[in-house]
Amino acid sequence: MRLIVISLAALFISLMLVIGGNAYLLTYLGIRLGAEGVPPTQVGFVMVAYAIGFAIGSHYATNMVAKVGHIRTFAAMASLTAMASISYPLLDSVYFWALLRFVGGITAAALYVIIESWFSAVATNNNRGTLFALYQIAAYGSSTLAQLTVGHSEPLGSVPFTGAALVLLAAIIPLSLSRMQSPHMEPGPKMSLLTLYREAPLGLTSAFVGGILLGAFYSMVPLFGSLTNMSIAEVSKLMTASVLMALILAWPLGWVCDRLQRSQVMLVITLTGTFLSIGMVVSVDQAFILRLALSALLLGTLSMVYSLAVALTNDRIDSSARVAASSALMLSYGVGSIIGPVAGSMLMEAFQPQSMFLGFAALLLGLTIYARHRQKLMPPLPVTAQEHYVATMPETQISKEFDPRYETEEENGPTIEDIFPDEWVQAWGDDAKEKEPDGDLSAAGEEIEVGGEMIGMEEHEPGYWEEKHKAKEQASVTDTDGAAETPAAEEVTAAEADKQSPTPGETTESRADDTDAESSSKDKKPD
């Protein structure tokens, strides 16, 4: 675990900066638009642009990274995200801001794909669970800190946009200075939504509903707080507590889901979410601490809906089709996250700001009825037949090799050595010694790197650096043995030559006698 944390420190730092910058912008924009008196439907239009861009970016990011490279693509996307962030104060137009959010969605999706592909390159059956847990802690931790920072921002100034841009630009530094090699990326298998619905209807439907609910919550709750007389500091605390609760409830839910039938757990979760949504409606005029507690519990409950959707789907799908099913679930969630902000903003503008939570309650109650209907049509699986539950984060694109449910069958799968030079990996170990880089480091040398990627070299398959390192070690062992044997061989050759070629007037026997005499004199110690 120590080696994973140290060697992937640059990835964790860049991940936290990217998620922190995006989470800060998402919350601050809702507060800013509410403070400027923008109608809720127009706020929803701005917010949904991010979801649309994220869906498009997720689809094309893999091809772009394969053509340009990880480091270059990451630097370009992070710079473009920062440019979009710093451009908001330039033009006070809803359409211009929606365009900037659309660009931010595309770039955010690409950044997540790049970072998680590196994590996937070192994920094995032994460390995948630990790596995934560290990833979740880093992601939710940075999002929580971002929500806290919003409370200390100017509601109508330009400094918050500049600060978010600086954070996003800072994400370039750790990866650009690292020596990581680009991992191999391949497009994953696909599955249609109709095919998945036939196999796991409750899982697909739950993912779609979860997308609507979470998309509306993250995008519109900051605006809801502003419209219901919350200060910017109170909105910041509310969002902080909500994100933190989503992280805290993830592990207890996993413990329960591995011991009870998941369809029954889904019924409890949806009914609980229904009552919490109604509580949000009636608590608008109540104390802030009550509203904060209800909001935190509601987001924690909504986050469970998507995780349960993934678990229910994996219980019904064959392991060979699990990766394709995961992509279909993400598509279903993405479509829902586009509908959520638009529908929520329409309810808020047509009636009252708290009307959005009435829509939440109606959706959750409908999902409860549908889950009960599916239980009658298809009996739930016994607990012993269920797959291991893993809490998922739908806000990011978790790749298949990174998911703890994915197990590789290859004996020599990807390792840390595939993306780091061996001598650096060993230097980060417990018993390592500092080693000087070998080889020619001139401008014409093969080992020159810029931004972590090789110049003038093609992409190598996994295991290339391991084989190269073994070849170097074998060559060094051969050279060492040869150097040790060379003096002895030269002495033997010289001795034989002297024996075979005596000087004039000297016989072989006399030469041998002289040699014995010299040996005996050397063995004697001085008094």
Nearest to 72 by CA among 480, 435, 449, 479: 449
Predicted confidence band of residue 457 (pLDDT cuts 50, 70, 90)? very low
Integer Cα distance of 423 and 130 in angstroms: 24
Looking at residue 153, its pLDDT comes to 87
- What are 222-242's pLDDT values in tens digits? 999 999 989 999 999 999 999
pLDDT, position 320: 73
Give the pLDDT confidence of 186-230 residue by residue, as tens digits. 666 778 889 999 989 999 999 999 999 999 999 999 999 999 989
Amino acid identity of residue 320, one-letter, is S
Condensed to tens digits (0 to 9), the pLDDT of residues 365-414 reads 999 999 999 988 887 777 777 777 766 766 554 555 556 655 555 444 55
Residue 214's pLDDT is: 94
The pLDDT score that the predictor gives to residue 372 is 92
Cβ 277 vs Cβ 306: under 8 Å = no
The whole-number pLDDT of residue 192 equals 86
Band of residue 137 on the pLDDT scale cut at 50, 70, 90: confident
**pLDDT tens string 304-314:** 898 888 888 88
Per-residue pLDDT tens digits for 73-97: 899 999 999 999 999 999 989 999 9
Residues 6+ apart with CB under 8 A from 104: 22, 25, 50, 53, 81, 84, 85
Instruction: Mark 146-160 as b/e (b = at least 16 C-beta within 10 Å).
Output: bbbbbbebebeeeeb
Taking 60 as the threshold, does the pLDDT of residue 340 lie above it? yes
- Average pLDDT score, the chain: 78
Higher pLDDT, residue 441 or 96: 96
For residue 491, pLDDT over 70 is answered with no
- Residue keyed to tokens 């993912």: 207
Task: Give whole-number Cα distances, 304 to 256, 280, 321, in Å.
Answer: 12, 18, 23
